[in-house]
Amino acid sequence: MMMSLIDSIDVSSMIGTLNKISQVQAVVQSQLKPGHDHDVIPGTNKPTLLKPGAEKILMMFGLTSEYEIIDRIEDYDKGIFAYTIRCVLSKNGQKITEGVGSCNSKENKYRWRWVKESDLPVGIDINSLKQRTNKWGKTEYQVENDEIYSQANTILKMAKKRAQIDATLTVASLSEVFTQDIEDMKELFQQENIETMTDVESKNIKLTFGKHKGKTIGEVYDEAPDYIEWLVQNTKDEVIRKACKMVLTPPKGNKGTQYKSNKDTSDVDPETGEIYNIPLPWDDNGDEDTQF
């Protein structure tokens, strides 16, 4: 049976199809915007396809999507909500492929919420709670989400999005190029990296954008410290911001000299060491570098 299947294959036609798939994949990649249509999650080697990217791909292929709830749990007494969605992609009324996605209220991002100490329930032991430092340097505590009922629709939409991306990745074998499994873990990865980052790790983080793309923060600091200062004030990536601050401020006891720019020292906060009012760095051609 296997040999008869192999014998029936037109090898030249197969090679042509595979070549065309590779060409389509290259076109799709060239049309998607990093950081918006797809993004790289720390610790992974393949970009994660995001919802805007999936929608753009469907438009490229002229595909329409239809959704069906194939399983649903809505328990208002226990606060449990779970949905499984099927997404069917079609063209001119003909089904092309389908994908499935699920989401439920027991996932960490929905089950828990972060609050300030002043908002904690009365009588709770803060030492028993998971803690984190937010981007303003304040301590927050993780507690059970008592507002899960208001997120039922959000959970349904997340299941729908996962189904759409799952279906989209089967088009032109795009799962070779993108992944989706860890998209929702970006925030978790980011917070863990911020909390546990060491001085060595901060210098070895590679930039994935801008004119110094591909270089580590340590390398850029040695070549263009002004650029590191600019990132502290302008990047939206909290991990990059934290790493740049660490590089600019050597640990206590380090006899190395902190970088000082040629700007007036009033640009440096004497309390925190933070640098502000940093002018924009410029590319060699005189254009402002805006890829942040």
Q: What is the pLDDT of residue 270?
A: 40
- Same domain? For 175 and 214 the reply is no
Strand partners of residue 53: none
Two structure tokens written together for 234 = 């302008």
Q: Are residues 179 and 222 in the same domain?
A: no
How far from the centroid of its chain's Cα atoms is residue 173's Cα?
22
For the chain, the first-to-last Cα distance in angstroms comes to 56
Q: For position 103, what pLDDT does the model report? A: 93
Residue 214 CA to residue 194 CA, distance in Å, equals: 21
Say whether both 80 and 155 belong to one domain. yes
Instruction: For residue 11, tell me if it sits in a domain.
Output: no
3-state secondary structure of 113: strand
Tell me, what's the pLDDT at 150? 86
Same domain, 179 and 234: no
For residue 84, the model assigns a pLDDT of: 97
The pLDDT assigned to 135 comes to 66
Give the Cα separation of 57 and 70 in Å (integer). Answer: 25
Dist. CA 90–CA 127, nearest whole Å? 53
Instruction: Tell me: do 173 and 45 sit in the same domain.
Output: yes
Last residue of a domain, one of 184, 209, 228: 184
Domain range for 206 is 197-267
Least Cα distance to 171 among 257, 60, 272 occurs for 60
How many other C-beta atoms lie within 10 A of the C-beta of residue 194? 17
- Is 234 found in the same domain as 211? yes
Q: Are residues 81 and 49 both part of a single domain?
A: yes
The answer to whether residues 244 and 107 belong to one domain is: no
283 lies in some domain: no
pLDDT of the chain along its 292 residues, tens only?
A: 656 766 777 778 778 877 888 888 888 888 888 888 888 766 566 788 888 999 999 999 999 999 999 999 999 888 899 999 999 999 999 999 999 999 999 988 888 888 888 888 888 888 888 888 776 778 888 898 888 888 899 999 999 999 999 999 988 788 888 876 655 555 544 555 556 677 887 888 888 788 888 889 999 999 999 999 999 888 877 778 888 988 988 665 544 444 444 444 344 444 444 443 434 333 333 333 333 3
Residues 152 and 238 in one domain: no
Number of domains in the chain: 2
pTM assigned to the model: 0.59
Model pLDDT, residue 42: 61
* Any domain includes 9: no
Same domain, 180 and 205: no
Paired sense of beta strands 139-144 and 131-133, if any? antiparallel
Whether residues 128 and 174 fall in one domain: yes
Q: Is residue 80 situated within a structural domain?
A: yes
Boundary (domain end) residue, out of 125, 156, 184: 184
